[in-house]
Amino acid sequence: MHGFSRADPSHRVGLARLLGFMLVAIAALGADFNGIQGILIPGQVAALDPIDKVTNLAWLTTFAAIGSMIGIPLGGALSDKTSSRFGKRSPWIIGLSIVSGVLMIAMGFSTHLIALGMVYTVLWLVANMHQGALAAILPDRVPEERRGVASAVMGLGTPIGVLIGVNLASHIALRWGYAILAVFLMLASAALVLGARESSSLHALRPVDAAARRGPWSFFEAFKERDFLLAFISRFMLFMSYFTVAGYLYYTLSDYIGTQQIPDGNVAVAVSTLLSITVIVWVFVATFCGWAADKLDRRKLFVGISAMGLAASLIVPIVIPTWFGMKMYAVLSGAFIGTYYAVDLAVMSLVLPNRETAGRDLGLLSVATGLPQLMSSLVAGALINHFGGYTTLYVFGSVCALVSGVVVIFIKKVR
């Protein structure tokens, strides 16, 4: 089935109501990811083994990232095939939120690195399965002509989740941090499922899945579609650009810009300042761009502009290697990343080749986010240490963003 264009008409929940609950659910998931990865896990690892904390954290993060890449398409694929009176996605959203909550609480009580790493990896697998089922609500229940607004609202959940998760985790004790984030996720998931009820999927009984008979490679059959493959490449290059540079912002300030140029010489505060600027601009821009993309029916254009703009913004630290230049970069990158997040999910949902495998295929497109995150540290480290330092790092990021913007132009199915 190709070219499906509208959400299932059996859904009677108003779009505003659905998106309101979606925003809270995505923010809760974002709070978990960022509060744990940014604050709780690094602190816990340092407390368990302060001497080898950097190496240990790298290993734990790598295994967790592998779990996340498996989890998103797996959660989407399993929910695609679910028939229940509560719908396809809702049973998984509720069940996986509970399992995630239990695992988070278990992490708070982990006193050995191996045990912590095992639970962390399983949590990232389960939480990303939850994310796969959650993201599939967009192609399921939002009409094409409203997906720009829907993508923008869902995209706002990420920066809101960052602010909630990082600030909450940094101000309370470790075990309470895990527990509160767990409860937030479970409550937000329950609110979504109960407040914006999904239609029964019992009527959607399907014949024997022909794809299953073709073997395991049929899981990746969406890549045979030209537009799907181009969307994956464009997204991969954009996030390779973003994560490669963003992951080394701290060292960019301390080693490239220099502490003497930073207010009070406090690198941690400077990083916080730049990220706050980026998030504020991101939220403001995303709110407008989702509406504009729907109004103009030019979602691909907005993705292309955001990628090209990010490429240009990454040149600023090279041309103006000062604290002022970094603030300019924070504003510009926030604007263009905000634009991208406002319409990216809408574009991704419009290149899905088959409604029956929408969750799985949207999950595969999400690997284009997780894989660059997994690779970024190795790539950035090699560029900084062996291929010219921070100037090369930012040139690399700019080129990747530029390629992303060029590739998206060739997608035919989306305007």
Average pLDDT per 10 consecutive residues for the chain, totaling 415 residues: 43 80 94 84 86 79 86 89 89 96 95 94 95 89 81 82 82 90 97 92 58 59 90 94 83 87 82 82 80 77 92 96 95 91 82 82 83 79 86 95 94 82
Domain 15-203: give its CATH superfamily.
Answer: MFS general substrate transporter like domains (1.20.1250.20)
Single pTM value for the model: 0.74
CATH placement of domain 220-409:
1.20.1250.20
pLDDT at 214: 55
Helix (H) or strand (E) holding 119: helix 113-135
List the structure tokens of 261. Answer: 């140029």
* Segments of the chain assigned to CATH 1.20.1250.20: 15-203, 220-409
pLDDT at 113: 93
Query: Do 288 and 235 contact (CB within 8 A), yes or no?
Result: no
Q: What span, in angstroms and rounded, lies between the C-alpha atoms of 48 and 115?
A: 12
List the structure tokens of 310. Answer: 């990010």
pLDDT at 1: 37
Query: Do 204 and 83 contact (CB within 8 A), yes or no?
Result: yes
pLDDT at 124: 94
